[in-house]
Structures are given as structure tokens and as C-alpha cells.
A and B are shown apart, each in its own frame.
Chain A
Amino acid sequence: SAVISQKPSRDICQRGTSLTIQCQVDSQVTMMFWYRQQPGQSLTLIATANQGSEATYESGFVIDKFPISRPNLTFSTLTVSNMSPEDSSIYLCSVSSGTGLTGELFFGEGSRLTVL
């Protein structure tokens, strides 16, 4: 399985600020995803990070709030913009091995954000 590194691992942020989370994979992967896990909750897909094109966002998530970059096949960033306490969550980068339909999904360690 791929080794996925995320940073920061945790941060405390002030309301109204923005924070960028980085995700680095040790091998080239086709599919990269960003998930959110609110405290005590399940995992919700934010968007699929597409290399060389705009990310594909799920219902309820918009580019202005969660801009995503994917400059190459091993790296992606997620920015949480204009944060409010409701954005306090764990944000997880994930990658799919193999092709999208048959590959297994692996997660990074997550970035735990607390917004005051």
C-alpha cells in the first residue's frame, strides 16, 4: 500500500483564517480524495482531486470554501477557507490503489483542525 503523509497533523486556528493541508504520497497514484470526519462521525467525501484539472466536489462542498490543488500524481493540497468553529474536524487525504473501480482506498493519518 502507498505511504501517505499529511501535514499539519493538527492545528488550532482562529475564526476567519484559512489553512492549507498538504498530502504527499510515496508513489504515483491516479485517484486522490479528500474526506472530512467530524467529531464522532463517519467519513464524508469532500472532493476528488484531479491531476491537471479542477477538483470534483460532492454535494454540500464548494470550491470557494475548500479549494484543492493537484499539481502532480503524488501531491495534493486542501485549503479550508474562512474557517468557523463548524469546520473543526479531521481532514483525511486518501488514495486509491490500481484503477478507480477496483482499487483499495488508503488513508493518511489525518489533519485535526480546531477552530476557535
Chain B
Amino acid sequence: GENVEQHPSTLSVQEGDSAVIKCTYSDSASNYFPWYKQELGKRPQLIIDIRSNVGEKKDQRIAVTLNKTAKHFSLHITETQPEDSAVYFCAVRTSGAGSYQLTFGKGTKLSVIP
């Protein structure tokens, strides 16, 4: 099955700095790569996603890049704010017969220090 590695497990940045979280995956047939943000005690919420036919996608302060050859993708948050503090999960979907589920990374706890 798919194996998703996420790094780092924890990340502290000063407010206004950038944060980068990286994920690698094992199955070259994977074709959908979402990122979720989970605030304490709340449900995971989709913040951005990218599909395998795109190399980069940006939404205001958040961007995701995908390198299919190297099988890794990254989340970039610029101008971080205290409200960005949360646990971020990457995920991977692999196409295949009946294979619609996502495999999640172990998560990165981001702390933005005011």
C-alpha cells in the first residue's frame, strides 16, 4: 500500500516568517495530494490540494508544490500568523480499482510565535 512520510513533526516559526512542510510518498500512481489543517479539538479542514497534472498551486499565503519524479510535495505558508498554529496533515490518493481513500501523513505541529 501507499506509504506517506511527513517532516518535520514539529515546527516553530516567528510570526511573519515562512513555514515549509514536506511529504514523500511511495506509489507513483498517486494522483491527488491535499493538505489539511486541524486546530485543537476541531475537525481536519481542507486548506489546499493539488492534482498530479499540476506542479504548483497557490491560494493567498498558502502554496503547494509537487514533484512527481521525486515523489514529494510541500506546503508553503508565507507571512505566518498566530492563527496558523495548528497540526497540518498531508494526504495522498492513489488511483486504482475501488481505491478512493486517502492515506495521511503523521502530521506536523506548527507553532507561530508572536
Contacts and interface: CB of A to CB of B under 8 A. Distances in A.
A107 B106 contact: no
A70 to B, nearest CB: 15
Contact of A48 (B32, B100, B103, B106): B100
B95 interface: yes
Contacts of A58: 101
Contact of B102 (A41, A59, A105): A105
B102 to A, nearest CB: 6
Given A42-B104, A107-B43, 14 more contacts: A31-B100, A41-B106, A42-B105, A42-B107, A43-B44, A43-B89, A43-B104, A45-B102, A45-B103, A92-B44, A101-B95, A103-B100, A104-B34, A104-B46
B61 interface: no
9 contacts: A41-B106, A42-B105, A43-B104, A45-B101, A96-B100, A101-B31, A104-B34, A105-B91, A106-B46
In the A-B complex, the 9 residue pairs with the closest CB atoms: A100-B100, A107-B43, A43-B104, A42-B104, A42-B106, A45-B101, A109-B43, A107-B44, A42-B107
A106 B104 CA distance: 14
Given A33-B101, A56-B98, A109 B106 contact: no
Contacts of B104: 42-44
A105 B105 contact: no
Interface residues of A, number: 24
Interface in A16-68: 31, 33, 41-45, 48, 56, 58-59
B11 to A, nearest CB: 16
Nearest to A103: B100
A59 B2 CA distance: 13
A92 B36 CA distance: 14
Contact of B43 (A100, A104, A110): A110
A1 to B, nearest CB: 8
Nearest to B102: A105
Contacts of A110: 43
B37 to A, nearest CB: 11
